[in-house]
Every structure is written in C-alpha cells, then in structure tokens.
C-alpha cells in the first residue's frame, strides 16, 4: 500500500508543477475585520478549491462550481438549514394560502446589495423573469403563472409574480406547491442588482454586487482564483466570530486542488475518486457525512434509476418489472464504479433528501431464482435496454445482462446498435419507443415533492414537460401526490409521499432504483463548524477558522 501511495502523490506533484508553475496561493487580503483586534477572532481567509465557474450571477449559473460562488455572493428569499428546511434569508417572513397556490414574501427592510443599491421586490421579479426566459435553472419556476409565456418569448415579465409594495412580492402558482419555500431557496433564484446591471452590464456579469455575505473584489474572467471579501452590512443570516473575512475560490481540476490541500494550501476541496483510499488514511473523518475536519463522505440528492414503459409488452406485466429489479446486483455495481464512491439503492429517493425512508424497496436485493420464476411464468425470453452514449452506462447494462442471463433471459441493448447521443436518446424516451431505460433522478432542492410529482403523476408525461417516461397511471398515486402538494406541514407531506414511493416501487414496480451518488470532500483541521450540505453548499458565515 505504501509504495502505491508514494507514486500517486509523486504523480500529483509533477502535475502541479506542470500546470501551476507559480506554486503558492494568491496573496491574502486583510485578515482583520473592522473593529476586530486579533487574527484569532477575525477568521482570515477560507481557501475553497473548485473547478472553473462558467458564470457567477444567479440567472446564468449552471454547474455546482457556479453555484458555490453564487451562494457566497447572493441570498435568495430563503435558505436551507441543516435539515434541508426553508429558513428566512433575503425574505424575513412569508405567508401562504390554504391551497398552497399563493405565497407572499416580505423582504428584510433596508436590505441592500454590496454596492448600496436597495434589494427590492422588483429585483427578484426581474431575476426570475430573466431565468424563466432561458436560464439553466428556469424550470424551477415552471409552476409560476406566466412562466410558459416568458419561456416562449411572448412576454418579458412573469405575470405570476406580483409586486405588492417595494419590499413585498406575491407568487401565484398554476397548481399547489407546498414546498415553494424550499424551492425559492435555490441559489439560482437570487435577485438582480437592477442599478448595476443598468449602469454597467459587463461589470454585472464579471464583478456582480450581490446581496450575500461576500462580494468579489475584482472582475472574474479566466483567472485562477476569485476573491470575495466579507460584506459588513450583510444582515440576512448569522455571522459568527472567527468566520472568514474573505473566501478565495482557488480554481483548478480535481488533482490540482487535492494536492494543494495535502500541502496545506486549500481548506476545502473535492477528492479525486482514485485518491479516496489515500484520503481516508491521511485525513480520517472527524466530523461525519456533512461536516469536517477530515474526509467528508455523504449522499448527494441524486440516484441512478431504471424505468420501464408500462404501456409496451411485456413491460406492462408487473411480474416482469419485478423480475428486472430482482436480477440487478446493486452492491456489485456500487463497489465497482467510481472507486466505490456510490451507495446501493434501498429506496427510490436519494437518502440525502429530507424525510427519505431507507430500506423502502422490497426488491432492491439480488434474487436470481425469484427473477427466473417470474420471467418463466410470464413467458419472457428477451428484453431490451436503452441508454445514451457516454457516462459509463455499459457497466449497468453488463451487470443487468449478466443477472438476466442467469435468470434465463437475453438482454439486447439499443436494438443491437451503438448507444445514441443524448439528444437522440431523449427523443426515443419522448416517443415511448424503448422498454427498459435509464435516467438520473436529481433533486435540485431539498424536497421529495419536487422529484415525485413530475416523475409519477399521470399528467407529467414528457410531452407535457414532466419526467413520467414510464407512462405510469395510477389514480391512488395521483391523489396522494395532489394531496401532498397542498399539505404545508412537512411531516404530514412526507408521510403521504412515503405511500407514493411504496406504491410505485413495491406494488407497481414502475421504476427500479439502482444506486445513489455521494460527495467526497476534505476539510482542513484548522476549520471548525463547517457544514457541506447535500447540494454542495457551505455555511461560510458559520464556520470558524483557527490558524
């Protein structure tokens, strides 16, 4: 083990020398905040290793790296606490109608962007309208009245966002959304600084003055870092003593950032999959799945799922669908892919989502004899599996093929042809021409409802913008989902959604969860109180630097 570890580190050293000849980090800015007399109290600089951001404003943000920066610079109406529940942020309070179709948010009075411009209700309506017109996360607002018209370019402003006064906005929905308070906490739903955008559109994109706890100190183009200093006037949350006076986002690939961490030049970064074993040895976890210091390995709100077209024989038979699930060795897949940084599925929903019940999948364990019996009784000799090119889906195909072969059934992938590119594959799903197919199940906000309604409600077929590629229709499931969408109490809503999952997975078996993904980060021993949440966000104002 030791020689292999030395070779790995040596290779990373050579890579760093080739790609980062300047070696040391950017010079640190001031480490003492106004009114603070000691470095120990001030916190100093938090060095966060990320990949290259493509955008640092909410409406243009797309990747996790984009959102990491945007979350530091901007505050949405709400934020997510450690349990994934909505708490006040830019909005100090909100009210909701009994049917969950009308939400009124009151902004904090006197709140400003970092350049002193006021944060108004119009700043949010403009941002959301821009996002709806083509922003990467515009679909989060799909249930706001007028979203479709804005997305089609028919009108410029969301009619479903009403400005009641300068600091109050009401959101009108076309259907109930009891989870809207969580939805509007997404970093991409932050406000637009109308004053800066009007005066200098280029500055708005490269050095935006946001309403968050930090502000960038120079324009970002293609630099290898982004420096953001603490904003003294920020009042949308808690800033503890010893929290960072600045965040320096150090930009590099996984290997570069991880090696820099091992050399003490990063405080937080992701771990390359091939280095997980070494990281576990060198930086043992002293926190847990969500906190440091040391190795932080926890679930992401993402699952790999197999679906079946319930309207196409033989997949219209529930026994056949159950047999497919029983023929899949989830543990073998999770162990063999991404250096084991996956977890075999035990429920449809990713474990990282609030309220998810583990071990809620009766047929998520391998049982070849049971699969063989069900397939023989159904008279099935061959099944088909479709997936797109790229992404390593062949490994899932091979594992499923092996299991079905032992159960006496042949598996043909993509009609014996090559895997199609993603757009062509999506067209096939839209047309309903495939039997078994794969798709990712991703929760962009901490809400089970946001995943299950578009996946399982009978109205949410892909031609209507939903994810029900299975063409699943069940009146009981529809009723439970509609009731959950009106239920404002979190526990009551989750109880209803548990019944939905049980029916869809254990009774009707229209989907087969395969595995869920995990994050793997390392946090410096000099950082206390850090929380890295399932959505990749860090509590920058609550962690403490002790150097």
Report pLDDT for 465. 86
Residue 33's pLDDT is what?
A: 32
What pLDDT sits at residue 43?
79
Interatomic CA distance for residues 317 and 93, integer angstroms: 49
- Strand segments, DSSP code E, in 362-435 are 382-386, 410-413
Q: Is 359 helix (H, G, I), strand (E, B) or coil?
A: coil
What is the per-residue pLDDT for 41?
A: 47
Please give the angle made by the CA atoms of 84, 90 and 96, to the nearest 5 degrees: 70
State the pairing for strand pair 161-165/246-251. Answer: unpaired
Q: Which pLDDT does position 338 carry in this prediction? A: 81
Report how far residue 147's alpha carbon sits from residue 409's, in angstroms, rounded to the nearest whole number: 47
Instruction: Return d(Cα 27, Cα 17) in angstroms, integer.
Output: 19
Q: Where are the beta strands (DSSP E) in 153-219?
A: 161-165, 168-172, 214-216
Check residue 476 and give its pLDDT.
98
Cα–Cα dist 483/496, whole Å:
8
Cβ atoms within 10 Å of 109's Cβ, excluding its own: 9
Coil, strand or helix: which one is 436?
Answer: strand
Q: For position 293, what pLDDT does the model report?
A: 94
Task: Record the pTM.
Answer: 0.90
Q: What is the pLDDT of residue 355?
A: 83
Residue stretches of the chain with pLDDT short of 50: 1-41
User: How high is the pLDDT of residue 5?
Assistant: 34
In sequence order, which residues have a C-beta less than 8 Å from that of residue 287 and are 6 or more positions away? 293, 294, 296, 523, 530
At residue 339, the pLDDT reads 78
The pairing of beta strand 45-50 with beta strand 246-251: parallel
pLDDT at residue 1, as a whole number: 32
Type and span of the H or E element at 226: strand 225-230
Neighbour tally for 154: CB within 10 Å: 9
What's residue 433's pLDDT? 87
Is there a contact between 51 and 541 (Cβ–Cβ < 8 Å)? no
Q: Are 493 and 487 in contact (CB under 8 A)?
A: yes
């Amino acid at each position: 083990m030791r020689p292999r570890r030395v070779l790995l580190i040596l290779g990373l050293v050579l890579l760093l020398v080739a790609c980062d000849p300047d070696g040391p980090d950017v010079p640190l800015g001031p480490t003492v905040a106004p009114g603070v007399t000691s470095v120990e109290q001030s916190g100093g600089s938090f060095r966060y290793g990320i990949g290259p951001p493509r955008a640092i404003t909410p409406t243009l943000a797309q990747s996790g790296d984009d959102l990491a920066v945007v979350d530091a610079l901007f505050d949405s109406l709400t934020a997510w606490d450690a349990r994934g529940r909505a708490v006040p942020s830019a909005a100090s309070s909100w009210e909701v109608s009994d049917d969950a179709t009308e939400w009124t948010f009151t902004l904090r009075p006197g709140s400003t962007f970092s350049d002193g411009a006021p944060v108004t209700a119009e700043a949010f309506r403009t941002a959301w309208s821009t996002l709806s017109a083509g922003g990467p996360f515009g679909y989060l607002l799909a249930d706001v009245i007028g979203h479709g018209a804005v997305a089609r370019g028919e009108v410029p402003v969301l009619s479903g966002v009403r400005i009641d006064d300068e600091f109050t906005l009401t959101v009108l929905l076309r259907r109930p959304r009891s989870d809207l308070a969580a939805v509007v906490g997404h970093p991409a739903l932050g406000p637009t600084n109308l004053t800066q955008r009007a005066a200098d559109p280029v500055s708005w994109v490269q050095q935006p003055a946001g309403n968050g706890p930090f502000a960038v100190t120079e324009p970002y183009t293609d630099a290898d870092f982004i420096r953001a200093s603490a904003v003294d006037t920020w009042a949308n949350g808690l800033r503890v003593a010893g929290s960072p006076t600045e965040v320096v986002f150090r930009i590099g690939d996984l290997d570069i950032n991880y090696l820099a961490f091992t050399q003490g030049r990063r405080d937080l970064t992701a771990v390359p999959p091939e280095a997980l074993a070494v990281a576990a040895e060198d930086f043992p976890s002293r926190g847990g799945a969500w906190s440091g210091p040391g190795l932080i390995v926890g679930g992401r709100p993402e699952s790999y799922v197999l679906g079946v077209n319930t309207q196409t024989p033989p997949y219209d038979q529930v026994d056949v669908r159950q047999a497919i699930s029983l023929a899949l060795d989830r543990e073998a897949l999770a162990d063999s892919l991404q250096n084991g940084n996956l977890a075999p599925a035990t429920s449809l929903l990713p474990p990282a989502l609030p309220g998810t019940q583990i071990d809620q999948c009766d047929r998520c364990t391998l049982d070849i004899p049971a699969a063989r019996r069900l397939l023989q009784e159904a008279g099935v000799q061959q099944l088909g599996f479709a997936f797109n090119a790229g992404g390593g889906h062949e490994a899932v195909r091979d594992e499923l093929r092996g299991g079905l072969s032992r159960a006496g059934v042949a598996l043909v992938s993509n009609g014996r042809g090559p895997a199609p590119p993603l757009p062509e594959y999506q067209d096939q799903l839209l047309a309903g021409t495939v039997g078994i197919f794969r798709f990712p199940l991703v929760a962009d906000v901490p809400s089970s409802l946001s995943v299950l309604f578009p996946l399982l409600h009978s109205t949410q077929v892909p031609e209507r913008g939903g994810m029900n590629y299975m063409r699943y229709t069940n009146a009981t499931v529809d009723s439970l989902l509609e009731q959950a969408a009106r239920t404002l109490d979190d526990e009551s809503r989750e109880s209803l959604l548990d019944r939905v999952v049980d029916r869809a997975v254990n009774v009707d078996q229209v989907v087969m969860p395969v595995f869920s993904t995990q994050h793997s980060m390392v946090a410096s021993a000099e950082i206390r109180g850090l929380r890295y949440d399932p959505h990749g966000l860090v509590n920058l104002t609550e962690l403490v630097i002790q150097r």
